[in-house]
Structure 1
Amino acid sequence: MGNPLQLGMANYSKGAYITIEGKAALHFYIIRSGRVRIERELNILSQEENTNLKAGDFFGVVSTMSNHIHIENAIALDDCSLITIRPDQYSMLIKRNTPIAMKIINSFSRQVRFLDQALTMLTFKSSVEADERHLYQVGEYYAKQNQYSLAFYAYYKYCMANPSDPNIESVKQKMAKIKPYANTSTLKQDTSQFIRQYPKDTMLFAEGESGPELYIIQKGSIRITKIVNDNEVLLAFLKAGDIFGEMALLENKPRSASAIVNEDSVLMAVNRANFQEMVIEQPKIISRLTSTLAERIWNLFRQLKNTSIKDPVGRIYDCLVLQLEKSKIDITVRQAFNFGFGINDLINMVGLPMAEGKGVVSKLLENNDITISGQNIYTPDITRILKSNDYYKKMERRRNTLESNR
């Protein structure tokens, strides 16, 4: 069989470990023959996810394409023959085998949505499968915060999606009151334009609205947020080069979160028709989208593991380490770091009640492991965060061992 990509081949005997959770991920695998079982320490599976894989299936893509350690064990159930693919070969794979690439991307999109819902349930004890009715709640929240540009956008989208709602006139009256104080320019964007400009503190899209486009940030930054239990939760802070909004486009489902323009920004908008052309003509962008989705899945698994930590101080430290891991800096070297978010954001990330969370964070402040710079959390030495996290992880394991032996 010809192999124009010069992909690697690997054979494993029945019972062999192909990948090991926690070890470096240098390439991912496509099964040529045999079966492989996937095992994880944190075993939260969607209904569509299969732990027993066969010829044509792939595994190890998340950790490899996100440049993180493996999040799963892969064990050969039979003697197996596998194709191995390095990250730098992925763009060529897209060119030569588009169906495989789209299978990976669509699988990733479903995983992200499922894991995001699982994390919301575990962290906030709330189900937030957003639909167009949720737009009203988004508008109400931002109206209470006097963020009228965001509130007006959400109200407007609610009215467009629910024209026969019996309360529509009441919503329109609210819109009329706040319109003089709102920037409504994002509602007037020329959607035929590929490159668009968005002003600071406006809403690009709201959770619950339909989404025909994904975006690539050319300049500026975007906050991804979700309203849960009448609180705004910061999910991600995106900057130039980042891709977002792809799940609604790929799955034709409502937006699962809102995108708020953090500073004046320039974005490239890609609709479904353009996306299909990109898959064929611009494999490097599709490769970057795959890496983006892989990074989100890896981060969601880490966040889900964080929810299992019982000690709230340990959970806070673990969350800070996760943010350091996301930044891709060398966390073994002493250096200062600005996390880019505040105390309330950190408490919401780990799902603690605000009063309890502030008490926990005060301990970190007393230890001088973190300080506040402006409105953001700052550490003068990231290795102190790592050492404290290692200590609390060790204590957590000790407590779990004692409990299991009772």
Structure 2
Amino acid sequence: MSFFQMVTFPANSYIIVEGKKDANNFYIIREGKVRVTRETAVVGEDPNQVLGPGDFFGVVAAMSQHAQIESATSLTNVSLISVSYDQFGTLIQKSTAVAMNIIRFFSMKLRQFDTTITRLSFRNAVEEDPNELFKIGEYYFQQQNIPHATFAYQSYLKHLPNGQFVPQAKLRLQSSNQPFAAAAIDYTKFNRNYKDNEMIFCEHEPGKELFILQQGKVKISKIVNQNEVMLAVLQAGDIFGEMAILDNKPRSASAIASGDVELLAINKANFEGMVKAQPQLATRLITLLSERIWTAYKQLANLLLKDSQARIVDTLMTLVEKNRVKVAPKQTINFELGAKDLLKMIGLTDPKDELLIAELIKQNKFIRLDLGKIVCSDTAELEKLVQFYHKKAQMENKLKKLK
């Protein structure tokens, strides 16, 4: 590790500060103890984590190139290895184990964040469980989507040959003139091709591979409350399905080809070797995971805001940061979003909620509607407004704790 810069901090020093922009370095602890805190406590996470030798912090901001989502202070005199964003490939070549630790930690963290977001956003969402595959089949069968229903039923029979719903699954497949087993996948082949609307994997299905999208688009969706909720549309270069191979849990969502799709498949057995042989793959994966964790943290922080107006402006600010738009006086951004779309993003679907947007525009001259799309003409003013709402929420939480 001598290639990297060694830095030291005396006890009680700030090493990184939440909200600070242009964070290009992350740190691996050599000696001493560091406390990591967040202004917005994440549900299910220790708000005061104490880290020691071998642990790391600041990776999310450094690799996603967003503002810090945590603060770190030294509890003792500390010695740290400082790694910059552009040195990450070198770190992987010198120590694949460190890269694998970061990837595994991130996958665990992201799974935790995703579970919490799903629970807060969709009250009746269920935990990943192969037993649920039959219900997924039933959902698609009722929708008369026989190809997707077939995939789910066949997956259920494959993974639970003695399951409770085996007779019903077989009956459904017979009535649709479909075989009980899907064509076997050749896991030795890295290149995979899928036709439009073909299911790549199904939520609740045990996973063996992650995929790099080479060509085409892939829709990521989830069945919640008997509705198919679209979570994302992936483009060429995106990586998906990594959670299943990193933390051995079933798929948390389904992946469906949108148009003809070409994928590169990487399985558990060759993943670590691939990371070592191609450092750019690990860099890409950790950058992607960092971006997802940053977004998930922002979503969680937003869900914890009680004021609907606060949630609206906070979502707009997240979109400013996500799109790498400069935060400066008179800096304009057209969000390419209508009022309904924005409200839907934060789960506000009552037609009365549109009055919130009207009120927001009335109170803040730098926000307007232009041809039905929301426009902000001053990102610096938007940032000030978001900071005001966050400070207000923190004060309210403190007062609640004192009661």
TM-score by length of 2: 0.84
Tell me which moved more, 42-51 or 13-22. 42-51
**Preserved CA contact (<8 Å) 1:310 1:396:** no
In structure 2, relative to structure 1, the CA distance for the partners of 1:100 and 1:400 (3 Å cut) is closer
**Preserved CA contact (<8 Å) 2:343 2:353:** no
In structure 2, relative to structure 1, the CA distance for the partners of 1:285 and 1:166 (3 Å cut) is closer
Partner SS for 1:263? strand
Match of 1:244 in 2: 240
CA distance in 2, matches of 1:139, 1:261: 18
**Preserved CA contact (<8 Å) 1:200 1:261:** yes
TM-score by length of 1: 0.84
Deviation, structure 1 residue 400 = 6.0
Letter aligned with residue 28 of structure 1? F
Partner SS for 2:130? coil
CA distance in 1, matches of 2:308, 2:215: 37
Partner SS for 2:151? helix
Partner SS for 1:262? strand
Q: 1:289 aligns with which of 264, 285, 309?
A: 285
| Residue 359 in structure 1 maps to residue 362 in structure 2 | no
| Residue 125 in structure 1 maps to residue 123 in structure 2 | yes
Letter aligned with residue 199 of structure 1? K
**Preserved CA contact (<8 Å) 2:154 2:182:** no
* Structure 2 residue runs without a partner (length 5+): 362-366
**Preserved CA contact (<8 Å) 2:12 2:76:** yes
Partner SS for 1:130? coil
Deviation, structure 1 residue 360 = 2.0
Aligned pairs (5 A) from 1:138-177: 138-177=136-175
**Preserved CA contact (<8 Å) 2:198 2:256:** yes
**Preserved CA contact (<8 Å) 1:117 1:127:** no
CA distance in 2, matches of 1:79, 1:335: 44
Deviation, structure 1 residue 403 = 7.7
Match of 2:364 in 1: none
In structure 2, relative to structure 1, the CA distance for the partners of 1:323 and 1:179 (3 Å cut) is farther
| Residue 260 in structure 1 maps to residue 256 in structure 2 | yes
CA distance in 2, matches of 1:50, 1:312: 28
In structure 2, relative to structure 1, the CA distance for the partners of 1:134 and 1:382 (3 Å cut) is farther
Match of 2:191 in 1: 195
| Residue 302 in structure 1 maps to residue 295 in structure 2 | no
Letter aligned with residue 276 of structure 2? I
Percent sequence identity is: 37
Partner SS for 1:216? strand
Match of 2:70 in 1: 72
Deviation, structure 1 residue 32 = 1.7
CA distance in 2, matches of 1:405, 1:113: 32
In structure 2, relative to structure 1, the CA distance for the partners of 1:47 and 1:387 (3 Å cut) is closer
| Residue 22 in structure 1 maps to residue 19 in structure 2 | yes
Aligned pairs (5 A) from 1:95-110: 95-110=93-108
CA distance in 2, matches of 1:21, 1:48: 16
Match of 2:214 in 1: 218
CA distance in 1, matches of 2:166, 2:287: 42
CA distance in 2, matches of 1:386, 1:175: 58
- Paired residues, number: 391
**Preserved CA contact (<8 Å) 2:336 2:373:** yes
**Preserved CA contact (<8 Å) 2:36 2:49:** yes
Deviation, structure 1 residue 287 = 1.1
Deviation, structure 1 residue 176 = 4.1
In structure 2, relative to structure 1, the CA distance for the partners of 1:363 and 1:172 (3 Å cut) is farther
Name the Cα RMSD after superposition. Answer: 3.4
* Structure 1 residue runs without a partner (length 5+): 373-377
Tell me which moved more, 316-325 or 271-280. 316-325
Match of 2:225 in 1: 229
Q: 1:53 aligns with which of 51, 54, 57?
A: 51
Deviation, structure 1 residue 337 = 4.4
In structure 2, relative to structure 1, the CA distance for the partners of 1:287 and 1:33 (3 Å cut) is same
Deviations 1:320-365 (A, max 9, x none): 44344334455664344446x9957963x5344x4x3x43246548
